[in-house]
Amino acid sequence: MTIESRSTVRFLLGWSPVELDVNDSNQTLLQYLRDQARLKGTKEGCAEGDCGACTVVVGEVIDGEVCYRAVNACILFLPAMDGKHILTVESVADDTLHPVQQAMVDLHGSQCGYCTPGIINSLLTLHLNKSAVDRQSLDDALIGNLCRCTGYGPIIDAAEKACATDISSAWAARIATAGGQLLAWSQEQNYLAIETTNGPYLAPKTSDQLARVLADHPDATLVAGATDVGLWVTKLGRTLNPLISLGEVADLKSIRVTDTHLDLGAGVTYSEAHAALAEISQSLGELVRRIGSRQVRNSGTVGGNIANGSPIGDMPPALIAMGASVQLRSEQGVREIPLESFFIAYGKQDLKPGEFVERVFVPRSVDTLRCYKISKRFDQDITAVLGAFHLKIEDGMVVSARIAFGGMAGTPLRASECETRLIGKPWNMETVDAAKHALDKDFDPMTDMRASAAYRTLVARNLLERFYLETQNPQVPLELANRSWLGGLTHG
């Protein structure tokens, strides 16, 4: 059966349907909202997904249900909004203020006001999803919204008050109507294929379609959440042509659990994968919670973090330490390789022309696993060094060891010499001291704005010692063990 394509982008903006002929596939959602829709409440601050001034709420159908999430409009491409519901701050109130807005007014949660629309939308998402309102949940929801005026105290108070207040019946009715429209659109089989002034934008709906269009356009840029690719446009000034979106490929968004593995589609976002990864390991779950902000995790995908080959991507070192593998797909077929083999050199991955990352297989059975992210800030910061340690210890002896680091080489990389110094040895400080210095043979790190080479070497050694000490005192609360920053591990 031939599947027809569609050439116009359609979405709900506020409470009204919009259908557009998009002329620039690289146009961001923020540019459209401010310049064409004239919705000036959504602000531009950093243009890279860090400050949250551009936060909007986007609803989409996932597994037959409408889900709402806070995202950064500054790095999302406008065509990616096809079939979705966009709520800006102008759409929040009806005849009266929404409970989130009213609480911000009552409790003085806004001063200069520049960041306020983004904060309103982050809190609106909490309210819509009836999320938990404990302090940790509120902090996680607001980490991606920078505010230099209030100190966050009044905003936290407003969030607690708002989430305990019901929305009006009129608001509930409008959300229900919007959801019905999104569900109707999601049932259609035709996919988006548009020609723009800078080339085609294609949004296939299945992996088969994706393999076909990628075979036709092997040099295309693949984009999922745009948390990396979006910056190529907004910060580097590049024009991406052609663009193939993975956001509508349903089978890339599935999460499957087998007896032995967690099977993640490459298009699963970090927010969607968080609970399943945390179930395997609490330390792994805490690592995911520190990847970017809530807005970044709502858009960024596990597969995208792998496919971009970043040497400082947070998840690949942990997955390598766990023995994860990836499934690669093209029109020629499917192949599965260990994740550690996927990274060849800086900027080079084991991807043949027309091939894409389809699935990630994460072993569910792990022994002693700890992941440590070292950065200048605890929240929403780029990693300087990330160490992941997965050891099996029996009767005081190291039976097996898988250790991987990010930020120490041109790719995420296993510490093979260090592992050799551990396996078959007693798990004691003498063995750890020998293995620490073996890291010098595994890595020759670089100096950059995040850390010096000497610092990275010292931190890598100290993380192994830290891991050892924590195995000797397993009662240390994980959240306390993980609350470290760049300057905090310079002494053992």
Together in a domain, 44 and 127: no
CB distance 385 to 463 below 8 Å: yes
pLDDT class of 130 with cuts at 50, 70, 90: confident
Which CATH number is 138's domain given?
1.10.150.120
Residue whose structure tokens are 């400080």: 429
Which CATH number is 481's domain given?
3.30.390.50
Maximum pairwise Cα distance, the chain: 71
Q: How many domains does the chain have?
A: 4
Q: Let me know if residue 369 belongs to a domain.
A: no
pLDDT class of 63 with cuts at 50, 70, 90: confident
The C-alpha atoms of residue 236 and residue 216 are separated, in whole angstroms, by 27
Together in a domain, 241 and 271: no
Residues 6+ apart with CB under 8 A from 121: 55, 56, 57, 70, 87, 88, 89, 92
Together in a domain, 238 and 273: no
**Range in 5-19, 130-144, 307-321, 416-430 with the lowest mean pLDDT:** 130-144
Together in a domain, 207 and 313: no
Residue 492, pLDDT above cutoff 80:
no
Together in a domain, 69 and 208: yes
The C-alpha atoms of residue 16 and residue 22 are separated, in whole angstroms, by 18
Write down the pTM of the prediction: 0.93
Residue 483, pLDDT above cutoff 80:
no
Q: Let me know if residue 61 belongs to a domain.
A: yes
Together in a domain, 349 and 401: no
Range of the domain at 423: 374-489
pLDDT class of 488 with cuts at 50, 70, 90: very low
H/E stretch holding 174 reads helix 169-186
Together in a domain, 478 and 378: yes
Predicted local confidence at residue 76, as pLDDT: 97
Q: Let me know if residue 19 belongs to a domain.
A: yes
Positive/negative CA dihedral, 275, 279, 282, 284: negative
pLDDT mean over 267-274: 97
Predicted local confidence at residue 490, as pLDDT: 35
The C-alpha atoms of residue 22 and residue 274 are separated, in whole angstroms, by 34
Q: Let me know if residue 192 belongs to a domain.
A: yes
Which CATH number is 329's domain given?
3.30.465.10
Predicted local confidence at residue 193, as pLDDT: 95
Together in a domain, 70 and 179: yes
Residue 471, pLDDT above cutoff 50:
yes
Last residue of a domain, one of 215, 245, 275: 245
Which CATH number is 26's domain given?
3.10.20.30
Predicted local confidence at residue 487, as pLDDT: 40
Residue 438, pLDDT above cutoff 90:
yes
Q: Let me know if residue 144 belongs to a domain.
A: yes
CB distance 210 to 245 below 8 Å: no
Residue 489, pLDDT above cutoff 70:
no
Predicted local confidence at residue 491, as pLDDT: 32
Residue 429, pLDDT above cutoff 70:
yes
Q: Let me know if residue 368 belongs to a domain.
A: no
Together in a domain, 62 and 203: yes
Q: Let me know if residue 134 belongs to a domain.
A: yes
Q: Let me know if residue 34 belongs to a domain.
A: yes
Predicted local confidence at residue 132, as pLDDT: 77
- Looking at the chain, the whole-number percentage of residues with pLDDT higher than 70 is 96
Helix 429-442 × helix 453-472 angle, to 10°:
150
Residue 3, pLDDT above cutoff 90:
no
Predicted local confidence at residue 4, as pLDDT: 74
Question: Which pair of tokens denotes residue 220?
Answer: 């295309």
- Looking at the chain, the whole-number percentage of residues with pLDDT higher than 90 is 87
Tell which wins on pLDDT, 276 or 130.
Answer: 276
Question: Which pair of tokens denotes residue 139?
Answer: 């902090």
Together in a domain, 357 and 281: yes
The radius of gyration of the chain's CA atoms, rounded to the nearest angstrom, is: 23
Last residue of a domain, one of 167, 196, 226: 167
Question: Which pair of tokens denotes residue 424?
Answer: 């078959």
Give the tens place of pLDDT for each residue, 135-187. 989 999 999 999 989 989 999 999 999 999 988 889 999 999 999 999 999 99
Q: How, if at all, do strands 85-87 and 55-62 pair?
A: antiparallel
Last residue of a domain, one of 149, 167, 185: 167
pLDDT class of 69 with cuts at 50, 70, 90: very high
pLDDT class of 482 with cuts at 50, 70, 90: low
pLDDT mean over 319-325: 98
Together in a domain, 160 and 79: no
pLDDT mean over 328-333: 96
Burial class (CB in 10 A: 0-12, 13-18, 19+), 481: middle
Alpha carbon distances (Å) from 31 to 117, 130, 142: 16, 30, 23
pLDDT class of 457 with cuts at 50, 70, 90: very high
pLDDT mean over 367-391: 94
Question: Which pair of tokens denotes residue 158?
Answer: 């407003």
Tell which wins on pLDDT, 148 or 71.
Answer: 71
Predicted local confidence at residue 306, as pLDDT: 96
**Helix, strand, or coil here: 175?**
helix
pLDDT class of 477 with cuts at 50, 70, 90: low
The C-alpha atoms of residue 64 and residue 420 are separated, in whole angstroms, by 49
Question: Which pair of tokens denotes residue 174?
Answer: 């409008």
Together in a domain, 437 and 470: yes
pLDDT mean over 255-262: 96
The C-alpha atoms of residue 289 and residue 3 are separated, in whole angstroms, by 39
Give the tens place of pLDDT for each residue, 14-56. 999 999 999 999 999 999 999 999 999 999 999 999 999 999 9
H/E stretch holding 394 reads strand 385-394
Alpha helices in 187-240 (DSSP H): 207-216, 229-234
